[in-house]
Amino acid sequence: MNANITRRGNEILVNENFDNGYALRGLLSAVHKATTEEKLSDVVLNFKHCSHVEQGPMVFVCAQILKHREHGINFELIAPEIPELQRLFRNTNWAHFIDPKVETFRSDGLEHLPATQYQDSTEQGRAVDKIVKVILGAIPQMGRRSLVAFEWSINEITDNVLTHSESPVGGLVQVQTFARDRKAQFVVADAGVGIPRTLREGYPTLTRDEDALEKAISEGVTSNKKRGQGNGLYGSYQMCGQGQGEFELHSGYASLTFVPQRKKPLRATNEGLPCNGTLVAVTIDFSKPQLLEEALRFQGRKHEPNFLKPYEQSCDGDMCFKLVDESPSFGSRMAGKPVRTKLLNLYGMHSSGRISIDLSNVPIMSSSFADEVFGKLFLEVGAVGFMRRFELMNVEDIVRHIIDKAIAQRVSTGVAD
Ligand SMILES: Nc1ncnc2c1ncn2[C@@H]1O[C@H](COP(=O)(O)OP(=O)(O)OP(=O)(O)O)[C@@H](O)[C@H]1O
Ligand SMILES: [Mg+2]
């Protein structure tokens, strides 16, 4: 057994890090032994002494647990004792997926997306919309073309779960952003039949799982030419190859990793223990926007982006930004920052159009939120730019007063960030 993962009765202990494929497969194997071989129906996952985690392995474990729960197996969580990790388990919804007694965490409008389950294309579409908004609010100076490429990739990878995996619990998706490095990582996990199995339908001679994963990321490779074109994994992998992006796949007995700094960036390995399902982790470097789009130049359908539609519809100006849909609250700087980043990104994407900011159903706003959004925005784009490109609609008197004051104060200090 993996020394990092040990057993004590019905308890499975994660003793150190849970941040790589090795630890993931160790834990899955322990869960398999406890539930399938020993037929235990109550299992405790003990992360008390765990010191570091990554979202990919965690999301994969959550998907597996959802499947086990469908078979009547219950899991209890012992959370890490390090307070930041404890919070992370709650805020990412891992705690909820492991043990549904823990309530879900709702974080619309923040800079990360907690693990989110989707089981049909409507739920998938909703998750993708949310994710694109998270990126729009988290990464400054996001070009339109970068976001189009990102939206394409997240659509493809999440769609693969519904099209190919036969996962009884659908998929889980989670997103983390790294504003300073201008990167984002999304992970998608399912508890389905895995890439090697589906790909063998089209390529029956593929015996080794590691060969199947390498094949799956090649251009035009699909298990069924009538249904797909074999672009999703290939295009996403190509996008990660630009700048400092990374790509990781775990499915069946194999893993495939692409790390640009390595001597041999692409590596496919047989891990000796299975992952029943698929985990895809895509890290995109947004610092080279034209390269991202370049990566998607292969034969195939053209992706029509969706993310601008909600802003471009139902509005007098060229774009309409309904504040009530863009932030979970109007009370803090933390809530205000992603709103300002979104507005600045939309401002940059639309070179001359007007953006109407609709403040209906916003009865009150804190001065710190108003400063973070309007004060700093005013200073960044300048008085003329602000007046030419932004318009405030449906503003309550008291809110107008707070915004006016925030802008005046910010202008008098002259410091944007
Ligand atoms: N989550 C998954 N579960 C099982 N098999 C998968 C999964 N994702 C991808 N695959 C396998 O990998 C193959 C390649 O996937 P890819 O997205 O590149 O192409 P496609 O889905 O077949 O076609 P397209 O994406 O162009 O519609 C699929 O045909 C399928 O066999
Ligand atoms: Mg696909």
pLDDT > 60? residue 363:
yes
327 in contact with ligand 1, CB cutoff 6 A: no
Indicate left, alpha or beta for 48 from its phi (over 0: left) and psi (-120 to 50: alpha).
alpha
Nearest residue (by CA) to ligand 1, atom 25, is 232
Residue 1 confidence (pLDDT) above 70:
no
Nearest CA to ligand 1 atom 17: 232
How far is Cα 127 from Cα 184, in angstroms, rounded to an integer? 16
- Comparing 21-30, 137-146, 372-381, the range with the smallest average pLDDT is 137-146
Tens of pLDDT, residue by residue over 345-354, are: 999 988 778 9
Do residues 143 and 85 share a domain?
no
What is the predicted pLDDT for the residue at 149? 87
User: Phi and psi (nearest 5°) for 253?
Assistant: -85, 0
Both 111 and 97 in one domain: the answer is no
Of residues 90 and 303, which shows the higher confidence score? Answer: 90
Å from CA of 223 to ligand 2 middle: 10
- Taking the CA of residue 301 as reference, the ligand 1 atom at the shortest distance is 26
Same domain flag for 111 and 101: no
| Same domain membership, residue 375 and residue 244 | no
User: Which has more confidence, 83 or 317?
Assistant: 83
The rounded Å distance from CA 28 to ligand 1 centre is 23
Domain that holds residue 92: 1-105
Q: Are residues 313 and 300 part of one domain?
A: no
Same domain? 156 vs 290? yes
Domain boundary, last residue among 59, 74, 105: 105
- Taking the C-alpha atoms of residue 266 and residue 278, their distance in angstroms, rounded to an integer, is 18
If one counts the domains in the chain, the total is: 3
H or E element, residue 370: helix 367-370
Is the pLDDT at 316 greater than 70, yes or no?
Answer: no
114 Cβ below 6 A of ligand 1: no
Determine if ligand 1 sits within 6 Å of the CB of residue 138.
Answer: no
By percentage, how much of the chain surpasses pLDDT 70?
95
Q: Which residue of 233, 275, 299 sits with most ligand 1 atoms within 8 Å of its CB, as the best mutation to test the pocket?
A: 233
In the reported structure, the alpha carbon of residue 187 is separated from the centroid of ligand 1 by a whole-number distance in angstroms of 16
CA-closest residue to ligand 1 atom 3 = 165
Residues 360 and 278 in one domain: no
Residues 361-381, mean pLDDT to the nearest whole number: 95
Q: What percent of the chain has pLDDT over 90?
A: 77
Range in 57-71, 91-105, 140-154, 195-209 the model is least confident about: 140-154
Q: Tell me the H-state helices in 188-308.
A: 195-202, 209-216, 232-240, 289-295
pLDDT in tens, 213-263: 999 999 989 998 877 888 899 999 999 988 889 999 999 999 999 999 999
Task: Decide: 196 in ligand 1 pocket, CB within 6 A.
Answer: no
Cβ atoms 138, 176 nearer than 8 A: no
CATH number for position 64: 3.30.750.24
92 ligand 1 Cβ < 6 A: no
- Of the residues 305, 324, 355, which one is the last residue of a structural domain? 305
Q: Which atom of ligand 1 is nearest to the CA of 231?
A: 26
Q: CATH number for the domain including 379?
A: 3.30.750
Q: What is the pLDDT of residue 111?
A: 83
Q: Kindly tell me if the per-residue pLDDT of 337 is higher than 90.
A: yes
User: How far does the chain reach from its first CA to its final CA, in angstroms?
Assistant: 51
Measured from the Cα of 230, ligand 1's closest atom is 19
Of 61, 80, 105, the last residue of a domain is 105
**Same structural domain, 327 and 393:** yes
Give residue 302's pLDDT: 62
- Same-domain pairing of 99 and 110: no
The stretch 277-281 carries a mean pLDDT of 98
Which residue type does 350 have?
A: H
What is the Cα–Cα distance from 173 to 164, expressed in whole angstroms? 16
| Nearest atom within ligand 1 for CA of residue 167 | 3
Checking if the pLDDT of 57 tops 70, the result is yes
Do 120 and 93 lie in one domain? The reply is no
Pairing of β 183-190 and β 266-285: antiparallel
What pLDDT, on the 0 to 100 scale, is given for residue 300? 56
Instruction: Tell me the CATH number at 139.
Output: 3.30.565.10
pLDDT score of 299 more than 60: no
Distance 199 CA to ligand 1 centre (A): 8
User: Model-level pTM?
Assistant: 0.91
Reported as a pLDDT band with limits 50, 70 and 90, residue 287 is: confident
102-161 residue pLDDT tens: 998 876 557 889 999 999 999 999 999 999 999 999 999 888 888 888 999 999 999 999
Report residues near ion ligand 2: CB below 5 Å: 160, 232
- Which of 206-210, 243-247, 315-319, 332-336 is the least confident region? 315-319
* Ligand showing the shortest atom-to-Cα distance for residue 222: 1
198/331 same-domain check: no
Kindly give the distance from the C-alpha atom of residue 161 to the centroid of ligand 1, in angstroms, as a whole number.
8
Both 332 and 254 in a single domain?
Answer: no
Q: Is the CB of 338 under 6 A from ligand 1?
A: no
* pLDDT beyond 90 at 308: no
Do the beta carbons of residue 183 and residue 177 sit within 8 Å? yes
Q: Is 188 in the pocket of ligand 1 (CB under 6 A)?
A: no
Q: How many angstroms does the Cα of residue 234 sit away from the middle of ligand 1? A: 10
Residue closest by Cα to atom 5 of ligand 1: 195
What is the model's pLDDT at position 172? 98
